Structure 1
């Protein structure tokens, strides 16, 4: 493993910073303290900053020895927000905020990028510009989208953008990057079936929405098995059904809610249209009506081929080609996808281990993402920071005509 010595030597300081962020988690668009910590550190290291994109976002600007005159630039992105959940850990850096926890490792993502920023600020032996994007509100708020709306790519023109997420379950020292879709789109639906309530002993006097809702739930599964090509992935999950208040009363309405996940917008379009048609036509067949709402949250995260291969080469230079894996796509979602709709880039993964790094006082659960017993592995800090630095240095050596 070829870590940058200066980063490795400074990793205890960065680990302390990471744990401080972990102890003070903040939810989406409320990352006020975290953004202040980031801004103070970047300023302390002589890095120019811009604040306020996406409400609490911070962008650091590191020009190389040419002052960025050659026009080459790339973005490196870390997310800052925590999750609205109670931490089960009781070790010294556990959350001090009830009901809030860094259970996805965004504290570590922020710390890794800060470590890279510190090194790049002291070693500007490159031509071009590195934009350090500290993004709010990944966990459901769409902070990437909001930063883009506020002019991220207009104010900080870059030819590509890159992201990195920790991944529990694999040994520390491994990376993964792949071309194409690596995370799914995230979408939600809400359906209200309108019938006519009545006495449960006299159903002929009512228009019962309950059996129609049951048929609709089953029918949705046929969309995946019979309307979508077998080689295309998609998931429809009805996760909430609300109806009725008494055992002897047929309710007026049934409400269904759930989620849809796909790896392509084309499949998503087809699923949404088929769900709407099925809802409208099935309800009409039974003399009922329906309200159909479909909300698209995050698009699929799709890596561009050239940038994914470039990242794999950088990883191989650091840990060896045998430790660079192909990332199996997951139906989880990620709002870095909004950035990849605008710019070429790659969302990659760094192994977080199996949880053995956790100190005494960790919860009884596994060290998995979005688990109350999770904690980021500080052993990743010098490795992730080295990756960011080597990626930026190597990428900026390419001729502008190839970018």
Structure 2
């Protein structure tokens, strides 16, 4: 298959998958589509890992080494705002993070490797469910992923709006932050809006807590230490003319260090409880660890940089990008198996497409980088299984 034909095939896969977005652990149509396309390539398929996950294996030569390459199956709960011929057919769901593109890239990698077989060993193509909530990687691991497929190394990528299209970026060590979620429940005393003196106003208390939380990072941590606290939702039982009794504050934190994660939790708990007590309200504080930091194995970064340079040219590869505060389920794999995660530029402000941020209803994966991604993975396999 020549590059022009391969590009057309990649675009078809991507558009087909874009039209059938499914959210976490419900990716049945998506999984079936992937399995059918892999069968055409003659690779061995194991379905149902972690619920809807798929692992396809391809062996060439007599080499004993096994490496894994991963893509994500799930979409997001967004109503698509983009206007194109392959718009989502599933109401209220869309591929707003580019997982459709990642799946197409991995299918393309499987296609290239099945035709060329220019490697010596085994490649596992891992299609993982439920990346967005941070549950799918662990579900596959708990379902015996590494017992059935004892990987020596694992690799992944994610498109990145804001980076020039077709460029690569990675770094040794921490590349993406851990994510923790929190819920602060405040019980005050409801009253008529015209009689506030009869209330213990949980909205006022919540406002003070939200403002106080913003001082934790800015006034307690060294400015060189990456950390973020974001309050993203306020839920009440009030109405326009009544002060509520209950308020919930929801949000998340991002950080890299276990010590910082513990510090944020303890400080947030103390502040929330203290402000509530000061006003005579009750406080419940819930804090959960969702994503571990994504930490690249330093000794393997050079292989990804080499593969990226051979694919896109040295001038289009950054080997020490700044840490980002976004989170990734791939972190669970890197806690078990050596490997590296890289970013593939989706387009910046100078591009006509690809620069719209992730998790936006107007986002769309840039088809021009599909072939670059597949070629990169194929080159990486060639380097690591030579």
Query: How does the TM-score come out when normalised to structure 2?
Result: 0.91
CA distance in 1, matches of 2:157, 2:193: 56
8 Å Cα contact 1:29-1:56 kept in structure 2: yes
1:149 is displaced (CA, Å) by: 1.3
CA contact (8 A) 1:7 1:386 kept: no
Match 1:257 to one of 250, 258, 270:
250
Verify: 1:347 aligned to 2:341, yes or no. Answer: yes
CA-to-aligned-CA distance 1:313-371 (integer Å, 9 cap, x gap): 2111222221102433322221111111212211101112245358xxxxxxx633222
Distance 1:311 1:211, change over 3 A: same
1:82 aligns with 2:79: no
Alignment of 1:140-179 (within 5 A): 140=133, 142-179=135-172
**2:229 is matched with which residue?**
236
Of the candidates 201, 207, 212, which is equivalent to residue 214 of structure 1?
207
Secondary structure at the counterpart of residue 126 of structure 2: strand
Preserved contact between residue 134 and residue 291 of structure 2 (Cα < 8 Å): no
Q: Give the match for residue 365 of structure 2.
A: 376
1:4-403 aligned within 5 A: 6-7=2-3, 9-66=5-62, 68=63, 70=64, 72-140=65-133, 142-198=135-191, 207-243=200-236, 245=238, 250-325=243-318, 326-354=320-348, 356=352, 367-397=356-386
1:60 Cα shift? 0.6
Q: CA RMSD in A?
A: 2.4
Larger displacement relative to structure 2 (203-212 or 137-146): 203-212
Q: Runs of 5+ in structure 2 lacking a partner?
A: none
The alpha carbon displacement at 1:202 in A equals 6.8
Runs of 5+ consecutive residues of structure 1 not aligned to the other structure: 359-365, 398-403
The alignment of Structure 1 onto Structure 2 pairs a total of residues equal to 383
CA distance 1:61–1:280, shift in 2 (3 Å): same
**Alpha-carbon distance in structure 2 between the residues aligned to 1:374 and 1:197:** 42
In structure 2, distance between residues paired with 1:60 and 1:379: 26
- Give, in whole Å, the separation in 2 of the partners of 1:278 and 1:378: 47
For 1:379 and 1:217, the matched residues in 2 are separated by 42
Deviation at 1:243, TM superposition (A): 4.4
Contact conserved, 1:210 with 1:254, CA < 8 A, in 2? yes
User: Cα deviations across residues 62-108 of structure 1 (Å, max 9, x unaligned)?
Assistant: 11211x5x2x1111001122222122233222222222212221111
- 2: CA distance, partners of 1:61 / 1:348: 22
Bigger Cα displacement from structure 2, 385-394 vs 309-318: 309-318
SS in 2 for 1:12: helix
Whether the 8 Å CA contact 2:167–2:345 is kept in 1: the answer is yes
SS in 2 for 1:284: helix
SS of corresponding position for 2:184: strand
